[in-house]
Structure 1
Amino acid sequence: MKARSRFEMNHLWKIIFPLSLLLYLSGNVKSQVNPSVCRSPLGMSGRQILDEDISASSQWSESTAAKYGRLDSEEGDGAWCPESTIEPENMNEFLQIDLRSLHFITLVGTQGRHAGGIGNEFAQTYKIKYSRDGSRWISWRNRQGKEVIEGNRNAYDIVLKDLEPPIIARFVRFMPVIDHSMNVCMRVELYGCEWLDGLVSYNAPLGQEMILHDQEVYLNDSVYDGAILYSMTEGLGQLTDGMCGLDDFTLSHVYNVWPGYDYVGWTNESFPNGYVEIMFEFDRTRNFTTMKVHCNNMFSQRVKVFQKVVCYFRSDLDWEPTPVSFSPVMDDVNPSARFVTVSLQNHMASAIKCQYYFSDMWMMFSEITFQSDTAMYNTTLAPRKTGAPPNTQPGDNPVHKVDDSNTRILIGCLVAIIFILVAIIVIILWRQVWQKVLEKVSRRMLDDELTASLSIQSEAFSCNNNLTSSAPSEQESSSTYERIFPLGADYQEPSRLVRKLPDVSQVSEDTASKSPQSSTQEGVPHYAEADIVNLQGVTGGNTYAVPAVTMDLLSGKDIPIEEFPRKLFTFKEKLGEGQFGEVHLCEAEDMEEFMDKDFSFDVSENQTVLVAVKMLRADANKNARNDFLKEIKIMSRLKDPNIIRLLGVCMSSDPLCMITEYMENGDLNQFLSRHEPEGMIALLSNAPTVSYSNLQHMATQIASGMKYLSSLNFVHRDLATRNCLVGKNYTIKIADFGMSRNLYSGDYYRIQGRAVLPIRWMSWESILLGKFTTASDVWAFGVTLWETLTFCKEQPYSQLSDEQVIENTGEFFRDQRRQIYLPQPAMCPDPIYKLMLSCWHRNAKERPSFQEIHRVLLENTP
């Protein structure tokens, strides 16, 4: 081996070993299950579930045995089929799957027997039974108590059904249900993820009923699958269904249920000891790190987070005498529901008993989750320890728990060493033999991925409108772990085809020159109701989407703005940059001499004016130069007191420049984040303040500017406080610099490394369908209004990751009342929050127009 290779191995060892050890030691922390993303296939179609783990009550023949009941497979005679015709009075046939461990199952898929056109048997309806131990079987019921699930209508289509509530099980049975004698066959799949909590049951007092304003609020555990008599025993239910309750416990995520449905609650009048005791049983002894309890805190209705919790642990037969106690900080200011995290201090246990003490009249929980690592025990007899109880005989040899912390570290080290040795061998081979081959393959794979994965949205925001690529062919998904996100309760998935949204490259490059009618022809998707003219081709800053009916604005070759002398510029700072240009903040002299007569500056004579100068780089390509000229022509037509104005151009030589207004107080986001609302906090901190009336005055101006844009059928597509500039006396003007500024890079979500999207401000149809309209601008206005009234102290949906924001748009599409809305700001009156919510209406046609928004804001002016 070369000396250089030996040196590199030693260097790798020093770097990778501590990292691997750290990863191992930190890998034990697990988070609670999230039903919205826990939707991966568990292995029927992908064959991770072995044949011996699939069984059935009977079978037609060897070729229709249970092992052939795999979704989307045509092996054998094409499906599992029970031995005889199913009779309505005898529906005990089943197909059973053993997952080998507990899983959280959120979705099931079924299919009939097609067999290339030979078969035509399928189950129109079916039931599901499940078990966690293989002995006690539970019939699944939906949240309304219905057991029967709608199945297939033909032998080939896959029908996916959400399990609401989800189930926690190791064994699952599919049981065909019919109302007349018929032959049935089934192919099935389960979707979900591993149940990391390991919880197999909890025992708790029955939830109780509250009378609130003459309304009955039922706080019982309605989906509990254990025994229910005077208490709940040996089951799981709403405390483990992954669904967190809303802030207002009288509301629910689910349709057609009663008030209080999401919570299990108790009143202190029924518990003389002052606490509710819940016992949790687990699948094996575990090393517990934390418990997270989702509690309601609607203190105005005498509901609060628990005052204290005391937890006892059982690892063998007896409960340990020393409990863990925890007291959360009481909150009488914020009524929001929240998770309370309780440290369990790495106690080893197979059962935990927790006593939750009341802090007010009512206590309500919607979720309880545990983070743990499986415990390690010595399986041989250990010698008696010094200090054992005197009645223990020498021959008894009691088994003691072993302190496994050092053992785990040693195992981690050994695993890391093996991993590093294998990695070093691979690295040496790669560098000495296969490097060039792998580079070529990876480059080809990257090109294919970027071509196939270019989304509708990223194309619309792309830095180059002339980008083309071949459309990917429709193909089956080969990913074993591809998650399924159905767009409806009865989502139909055609067999052997994973349908994709059509690639935007199917639309010809000259879409912008087509009429609206021509762009909606059959087979040619129309992704936006406005054809796009250079959204961010020069500086990375979004300009406007211009509908085809106004494309005559771009006719003619003359630039309708006077040339401005470059020598009158004084550069102050760079505001931002993009692929083909930069934006600079400058001072301009004698600007009033070059302006239209209908425009005047609020400055004295001979005083310099702050302007923003967009500069096109000299090496920009021809397309970028054409886009730059189009942007000038568009901007020159925009003349409104609340829209940034184009003041001049420099076209006589490179670099080409366009000059726009700039306001002395910068953008609204930075302006508000430096201020505080009027009140005690501002007085104590001596911070500058902005009154509510001034906030509403600024919001009204934004609405006025957008009303003007919408009257021209222009779509902004990036409305946010970062794109609003603030002048004297709280004057607001809408601009388009936000995307080009590094300061706001975190507000944009990058897609495949090509383009970025302001997803936290975008409507669901813009994210999922690529539709940008005035109605999607209205949505963004609602978010901008929320930013304004919260003084831009946090990002919209700051508690959600970018991926969760995108998932939330799917909830808006499904419209099953699971979507998350931005909360009402503290200083936002109810009528204004109602206006915000109307901006986020699922149906774009039911959102208010900017004319209506402007009118409502004026009517509610303090």
Structure 2
Amino acid sequence: MHLFLLLILQATAALGQIDPAHCRYALGMEDRRIKDDDITASSQWYETTGPQYARLNREEGDGAWCPEGQLEPSDSQYLQVDLGRLTFLTVVGTQGRYARNSGNEFARAYRLNYSRDGLLWKSWKNRLGNAVMEGNKNAYTSVINDLHPPIITRYVRLIPVTKLSTTVCMRVELYGCPWEDGLISYSAPEGQLMMPPGYPIASLNDSTYDGVHERRRLFGGMGQLTDGVIGQDDFLVTRQYHVWPGYDYLGWRNDSLGTQGYVEMEFVFDRQRNFTSLKVHSNNMFSRGVKIFSSVSCWFKPRLIAGWEAESVAFKTVLDDRNPSARYVTVPLNRRTAKSIRCRFYFADVWMMFSEISFQSEDTVLPTQITLEVTSTPVTEEGTMATTPKTAVNASTSDPPDDGNTPILIGCLVTIILLLVIIIFLILWCQYVCKVLEKAPRRILDEEVTVRLSSCSDTIILQTPPVPPRSGHGPTVPANTDPHYERVFLLDPQYQNPAVLRNKLPELSQSAEASALLLGNPLYDLLLLTSCHMTSGWLRACGGGYAEPDVTQCTPHQCFHSNAPHYAETDIVRLQGVTGSNMYAVPALTVDSLTRKDISAAEFPRQQLIFREKLGEGQFGEVHLCEAEGLPEFLGEGSPLPDRDGRSVLVAVKQLRADATSQARNDFLKEIKIMSRLNDPNIIRLLCVCVSSDPLCMVTEYMENGDLNMFLSQREIESTLTHANNIPSVSLSDLLHMSVQISSGMKYLASLNFVHRDLATRNCLLDRRLTIKIADFGMSRNLYSSDYYRIQGRAVLPIRWMAWESILLGKFTTASDVWAFGVTLWEIFTLCKEQPYSLLSDEQVIENTGEFFRNQGRQIFLYAPPLCPPSLFELMMRCWSRDIPDRPTFEGLYQALRPHVNQ
């Protein structure tokens, strides 16, 4: 029963967490879910430039909201949007007034004010304290700004900023997701400085707090404890760039708070709620005097004007002096009703540090009839929990209990508990024995492998985690793994580069039973199949390059060694585009001995490129949206450019940075040569280059409707309702037509033995005639950062679109592109309203690939979209076949899809 209750609490707790990287949904300006009455402004020039026309990508009225008169540097004109409820706001998009080429007004910069109640307004600042955001550079292209930190608000004001007297106009979209916590403020002591000898000074203050700082306390605001950023195990290491050590945590020293030995915090909510649990992410680096709290007591106030209820809920935690990992501690709140909560967190050591706090509650508010004072011992990582009621008093009676049968009742309860413990132990033991017997004869990729552990100086301790659930967030990484291999799920940043990719399997000196148990662990399967972070770390640490390294030069922590079979393709060299995008993988012979003389594309006059917007960036390059003056005349007859109706030609320009390495320059020239070979109506074309001087540039087509993901996510399926309300829509025939075009483009790439490696709707561009062009810009765009799994803060991989062999073996082929095509189809027929495997964390997605590899019927597939015909979903399922020969070819996919399109 306790285990069942714990699972319920964990599932509930998981729902309360917000990940800013995934919380990026359009909130309704463009699609009119935000009503006209909810959009107001300080002034308007004309009725036709009122605030109701400030909708991104719409050309209604005179095309945008324009404040009255010339905007002066001292003015504070604003556009206000009521989101209707508390919202976690992460992104703001803006445009100017284009008005079908008759307008040219836009805001070059703007500020944000926000309010949770419509009365008290706060000014947004980024993590470095800057309040002004870069706006637009022309009237038609949209600029997307991520909010770092995000804000929790209901009302938002956009305030144009100018240095000169000018006319401005704005169109806007806001992105985020509902704030279900209901928390509107927390109060706490100010964070403090930690000055440990031999380490950097850590400033553990709440630097983004938007409330009042008074008498060394924080009042009436929100900050880093609700920004969705979880601190790392080492509190000196931050997830943000250009900030100080300790930035992610709010921390206090025990002796600085007097003799009380606790930190008191108060939490105020938007309304009265029935609270089920509290989750606190706490640091536990005990080697530096930091531990999770030893216990916590919480009091409840049903109304702000009422007093605190006398009965508290008190919990003790089991302190962990073996695992220094930061972790969430879950505190059940027993469905107590309150609008405000006060909690005291008691120190277990010199320091206590929190990075996130969240609450879970039920929608239905019931009056509290039973008050409990409880002492319990939950494991700090949301583990098992034993709760012992000390008192249970019914408010409606005062009769003393009858103690005559108490010893008998206690004896019965003890007996039942002992029986349950024995039964659970037997069940777990049987499962363990069955798992050992099941895994012992395991084969990897149908080939017998002898496995022994190499003589490492450290012991590797790995535990088998449970099978990931089909929804919600799954278990965390095993807490007691060896620190050198802890949380190694995937691949080294350059795992896909070597031409000869080998899986080095570790050697086990343990018993066959231990070997079988380790082989049953999904995390160990990944470690086993990647070996030294998927071979490239092994190659880099043990010699580098493409030659077989000398393993005698490696330390136990650098690599393993064995005579494993060779799984990778030997005739493919895989190059990462300098802008961070996945450049097409091609046969190795096509990129040998490249010089500038090999570039067939014409040299375009650099001065005729007018930069309009930065689309994205990578380590050594950037992608810009530009106007190309005189490009049709430059390209001459047979130009691939469509009829522009007199409008300027928009192109995408990939530009190499001045500080790029010589290897990056060579790769950039290789990418140009590769792109120059592509000539298909459904593939982005290289138009010209600028390589006669630095910076090196390549100019490619750009589609005016942007990428397919953004296009579809802003539309609904065509119906009488969409026609009646003028809602942007697409038909089922349109979706099928898009699918056929993508399969046609990929068929062309496959015919050249090109492997894309990042096929997704974000990498499909769309023109006004719904013509699809496959591109590769998605990885470099901040808007799609949540679609990529970042490895050790450097390389990124689109794991939700990747085949199991690409994740586990680093093997990219046309067949792995077919897998990604199936996921792309799924995106299309969900109208890109949801990320693939949205209910799984990145780590669970990777664990799920292990289930595809084992093929024991426990793998989780994407569900059938409601818009998708059954025959088409069967085609998707074939794309996700475990065995590569069972997947269709792109030629077969094209032939299967083409008959569905109305010719």
TM bracket, shorter-chain basis:
0.3 to 0.5
TM-score (norm 2): 0.45
TM-score (norm 1): 0.47
Which structure has the greater CA radius of gyration?
Answer: 1
